[in-house]
Structures are given as structure tokens and as C-alpha cells.
Amino acid sequence: MYQVDFKNPSAHIYFCGIGGISMSGLAEILHSEGFTVSGSDRQPSAMTKRLESLGIKVYYGQKKENITKDIDAAVFTAAIHPDNPEYVAAREFGIPMLTRAQLLGQVCSNYDLSAAVSGTHGKTTTTCLVSEILMEAGFDPTISVGGIYDRIGGNIRVGQSENFVTEACEYTNSFLSLYPRIGIILDIDADHLDFFKDLADIRRSFHQFARQISPDGWLIINSDIENVSEITDGVRARIITYGSSPESDYYPSDITYDDLGCPTFTLNRRNASSAPAQQKITLSIPGEHNVYNACAAAAAGDIYGAEPEVTAKALRNYKGAKRRFEYRGEMNGITIIDDYAHHPTEIAATINAAKKLKKDRVVVAFMPHTYTRTKALMGDFAKALSLADEVLLADIYPARETDNLGISSETLADEIHKLGHSAVYLGSFEKIEDYVRKNLHKNDLLITMGAGNIDTVADDLLS
């Protein structure tokens, strides 16, 4: 594998798909280190425009002629296939190639105290919470997050310290390219079943990720994970647990919620030394699931050496990333929230958080994401969505898939009806918007939900 020489940043690194949320961040980090960076994407975006403003050359359209012999290494995402003209040209020129995950692993290893946040759910929020703590403490971290984080003005922050924080995604086992000092495992759930065989296969990958944490490092893991000892078996790093049990190293108690559903709780440190054994924490993001994300972040903050009062202030100040229970506005007295939830566990957590707000009804406009996920978890989707007072369904967002597997959003609507709950299949965004205007009322809460482009419904309604 090609090794990026961070001590001698003279190489020219090319990114195919440079506008992606992770690729753009890696490109910016290498550019800041002094490397020559260029790349291509299908069309201009906020990400590519930012890179261009930094002096990075971006080509639009992926063409063979974009690949030149002066390129020392080319980075490709999993979405790039071997018949891609740039991939073909790189092979013909004999240019070494790296996957996005391999490059992220090398960047991670370039920092002395790197943290990688993994888990089926909550990665972006927890990465932001850890980052918030480090920035509030003045630790000047480099940050790579899988969403838009307002405080850093995007998805990347380049610091000048040895502290690095990144998301660690399990899809296609990309997180197995990472060897962090601090590894966080938030939860393990059945997902990405177009790649993994089953939940046991997913658990094996998380176990391997845990074993790759540096022996002089730390694994922060949710003790509520089923058979958690299977995941920690053979881990050489120090194990720190958090969860609902008082036997965990970090656990919450006395959880209460304000009118916006934001929690206040007591953070208990069971093995506290210098930090207080009990500390009052207030969050500005809603939901019980975020109480546990905050516990994980506080544990990481303690490892980095943040003062407890700094941790509490940072957790209180964090207002959320884009598309994570994001308040979008009001329309005729209807409150509109947008959320990225696209797995039954995430959907249930988001709806339960919404129900703590004082609204007459919670209505979810949901766009399922991929046929494989929808079919594999159909019953779980129906149960989770049934927590809402009404569900409006858009067509399935296929992403990379072409086979509909004989299902549609109408199938999901039927499953919700079988549970005795209200669901309306509408298909198009235009029909959803029209339905909302005609049928929702003052003091209703609408959540546009899904990993596709369902957020444009919120844009259209508010415009």
C-alpha cells in the first residue's frame, strides 16, 4: 500500500470524488500539510467551492485526461467502480491507489492522540460532542466529521496539535483501516445488510475494530450492547464503559427534560479520581439517546485531560449538526424539524425525543433509504414509525441500488396499517408538501426524515 509521507509533503495526491463529505475533509487536511492536492467531482457543490477557495484544483466531470503522470497517488471512494475513466487511467499510468478509508487510517496514525467514533448510530453527534469539548478546552484538534458542523463551518477543522477526532464508519469495513489511540463504540445494530451477512458479521467487525485500538490506548464502549464481553474479548487497550447500569464507569441518573425535550442529568463517574464523582450536565440537543452520547463524549474528554467544568460547558453549548434533529422553522404554526434518521433504532429515538415537545401531533415525512435496508428491516421500520401520530411516505431512495427486490414504500405503508397506525403513501415530494399544507394544523410537529434528499421538503414548505 502507498504510504503518505507526512514528514516530506512533496507528493501530488489526487481525489476522485473530492466533493464527498469525507473526501473533501481529507483533501483539506493534506493541503494544509503542504501536499499538492487536486481532484474531480460530478458537479460543483459547497464542498468543492470551499476547496477551490483554498487553491485546490477541482475538475468537473470524471475524465481520463484529468489523470496526469505527475500524480503520485490517487484516492478513490467505494462508489468509484473499476470502469470509471479516472480509475482506468490511474491503472494505465501505474499510479498507486488508495481507498478513502486507507487514507483516513494513515491520517489518523499521523496524530499522537487520535479518537475514532464508531457505532451504528450517533457517530456524527458524538464526534461533534468530543470535538466541542476539545475546542472549549483549547486543545486545538483536527476534526473530520460526517456532517455539517456549524462551529467549524463545515465538516473539517485543521488544528495544530496532536489531537485528532474522526468518525469511524463500519460500512464496507472502512473503519478497519483505523488504529486509533481512543476508540469509541456507541452501539451495534443490524444495518448495511447489502454488505454484511447478518448481525453476527457486523459484531465480528466491531470486535476487530476494538482489537485494533492501540495497546496504550482506551476503548470507550456502551455496556448496554448485548453480550458486550464478546466485543471486548482480547482487547489490549484499557476498557472504559458507559451505559444505563450503575456498574458502568460512566452512567446517567436523575434525567429530566425541558419544554424542548432537552435533558438535564447527573453524570456519575464510578471510578473518579480527579474529576467529580457526580456532575450536573445539561444538553441543548433533545432525546435520551443523546444523554448516552454525552456520557461517551465526557469519558473521552477526561482521557484528553479536559477539566470537568469545561466538559459541562461544551456539552451545554453544542446545538447540533445539520440534519440531526435540526430545527428548520415554522409554517402556519407548524414546527418543522429535519433529521437524518434512516434506521429503525434512529427513527424511534428521534420520534421519542419529538414526543417530549409540547405539540399536538408528531407527523413524520419519511423517505426510506435503499431497498436492501428497507426489506431486511421492514417490520422494525413499521414498529418504529408507528410511534408517530401519522406517517407520510416518499418513494424509497435507492442510492447505489438498482434492484427494488419487489418492495416499495407502499409495502411499508401496508405494514404500518397492519399495526393499526396511520400511514399515507404519497410517493413524490410535491404530493407530501401538498398534503402537509392541507392536513397539518397549528401546533403540529412535522419531521422530514431520512438519509436521502427528503430535507428539500422542509426547504420547499418554508420557502
Asked if 363 and 444 touch (Cβ cutoff 8 Å), the reply is yes
Give me the catalytic one of 120, 123, 132, 335: 123
Q: What is the pLDDT of residues 279-288, one digit of tens each?
A: 999 999 999 9
In terms of Cβ atoms closer than 10 Å to its own Cβ (0-12, 13-18, 19+), residue 290 is: buried
* Region 389-404 average pLDDT: 94
Q: What is the DSSP string of 275-295?
A: S-SEEEEE-SS-SHHHHHHHH
What's the pLDDT band for 79 if we cut at 50, 70, 90? confident
Rounded mean pLDDT of 100-118? 95
What the block records as the C-alpha cell of 119 is 457505532
Residues 235 and 225: their CA atoms lie apart, in Å, by 16
Instruction: Give the three cell numbers for residue 302.
Output: 477526561
Q: Which residues contact 350 (CB under 8 A, 6 or more apart)?
A: 287, 325, 339, 341, 447, 449
pLDDT (tens digit, 9 = 90+) per residue, 137-154? 999 999 999 888 989 988
**pLDDT surpassing 90 at residue 276:** no
> Quick one: average pLDDT of 291-313?
97
Q: What pLDDT sits at residue 358?
A: 87
CA dist 89 and 95 (Å) reads 9
> Which range (21-30, 179-188, 266-275) has the least confidence?
266-275
Which pLDDT tens digit goes with each residue over 428-438? 999 999 999 99
Tens of pLDDT, residues 351-379:
999 999 989 999 999 999 999 999 999 99
Predicted pLDDT at 399: 86
Which residue(s) pair with 113 in the sheet? 163
Q: Is residue 372 annotated as part of the catalytic site, yes or no?
A: no
Mean pLDDT calculated for residue range 249-258 = 96
390 carries an active-site annotation: no
| Band of pLDDT at residue 241, cut at 50, 70 and 90 | very high
More confident residue, 258 or 78: 258
**DSSP code of 156?**
E
Please give the pLDDT value at position 400. 81
| pLDDT at residue 360, as a whole number | 96
Please identify which of the residues 132, 167, 390, 415 carries the catalytic annotation: 167
Distance CA 440, CA 361 (A): 9
Instruction: Indicate the average pLDDT of the chain.
Output: 95
CA distance 80 to 101: 13
Q: Is 346 a catalytic residue?
A: no
Helix segments in 267-401, DSSP class H? 288-304, 308-317, 344-354, 371-376, 378-385
Q: Rounded CA gap, 222 and 60, in Å? A: 43
Query: Choosing from 124, 125, 166, 335, which is the catalytic residue?
Result: 124
The predicted model gives 225-241 an average pLDDT of 97
Measured in whole angstroms, the distance separating CA 459 from the mean position of its chain's CA atoms is 22
More confident residue, 114 or 22: 114
Mean pLDDT of 219-229: 98
Q: Kindly state the average pLDDT of the residues 185-202.
A: 93
- Report the pLDDT averaged over residues 5-21: 94
Q: Is the pLDDT of residue 274 over 70?
A: no
If phi over 0 gives left and psi between -120 and 50 gives alpha, with beta otherwise, what is residue 399? Answer: left
Q: What percent of the chain has pLDDT over 70?
A: 99
